[in-house]
Structure 1
Amino acid sequence: MSETNAPSERTSQERRTGMKRGTAVNLGILLVVLALAVAPLAMGAGDGKEEPFTGADAQAETAIIENDPGYEPWFNPLYEPPSGEVESALFALQAALGAGVLGYYFGVVRTRRKLAATAAPDDD
């Protein structure tokens, strides 16, 4: 088995920065995500609107009402939440469940790859 990735051996970049390449990439991705989340707020997106960050459904409904005030929807929702807070909570729950499923999937795939790499015979 090759010992090139032994913990005691560090690359020159690791010695200079004190972090591994994967950690640096993850930190960079985190900074980009934070910048994307903060940029609309910093640029004043939504200033002057009653509800600045409404969803596409609400914006479409507003546009339809402005263009055709007599429009009657041909479909009613199956469930109408009693308040906006309940609707937001259900949306957050849906997002959390989806993130949990994705996290579980990626964890399983990563673990399988690690186990396969550990069980694979050496090519020496």
Structure 2
Amino acid sequence: MKYSWILIVLVVILAAVPLFMVQGSEFGGSDGAAEEAITEINPSYQPWFAPFWEPPGGETESLLFALQAALGAGFLGYYFGYKRGQAKAAASK
């Protein structure tokens, strides 16, 4: 049990250290970086597509991204658990 707590603390430290190492940085998305790079190369470029809906804020966009990741992880967990159950059932016959 003590080993588990040590691992949990190490994982938390590993996740938190990068947040404190880079102070005052802006974590932008790849869409914004691509738009800036294209505008630098060709200032007269006009985008040929625009999103039909933009979230009201960065927090909402982060929430939707996290929800998408959680749903994907849930689906993968269900799939692998289902396949493992099938394998156990086939082995017990």
Q: TM-score, normalised by structure 2?
A: 0.69
Q: Stretches of 4+ moved more than 4 A in 1?
A: 47-50
Residues 1:102 and 2:67 are matched in the alignment: no
Q: How much does 1:48 deviate?
A: 7.7
Q: How much does 1:56 deviate?
A: 2.2
Q: 1:100 to 1:85 in 2, by over 3 A?
A: same
Structure 2 CA distance for aligned equivalents of residues 49 and 73 of structure 1:
30
Residues 1:67 and 2:41 are matched in the alignment: yes
For residues 51-102 of structure 1, the C-alpha deviation after alignment (integer angstroms, 9 at most, x for no partner) is 1x33322221221122223321111112211111111111111111111111
Unaligned runs of 5+ in 2: none
Letter in 2 for 1:41: P
Letter in 2 for 1:102: L
Unaligned runs of 5+ in 1: 1-26, 120-124
Aligned position for 2:55: 81
1:57 to 31, 34, 40: 31
Aligned position for 1:41: 18
Letter in 1 for 2:18: L
Q: Which has the higher helix share?
A: 2
Q: 1:49 to 1:63 in 2, by over 3 A?
A: farther
Structure 2 CA distance for aligned equivalents of residues 49 and 60 of structure 1:
21
Structure 2 CA distance for aligned equivalents of residues 64 and 99 of structure 1:
34
Q: How much does 1:50 deviate?
A: 4.2
Residues 1:118 and 2:92 are matched in the alignment: yes
| Total equivalences in the alignment | 85
Q: TM-score, normalised by structure 1?
A: 0.54
Query: How much is the aligned-residue C-alpha RMSD, in angstroms?
Result: 2.9
Task: Select the structure of larger CA radius of gyration.
Answer: 1
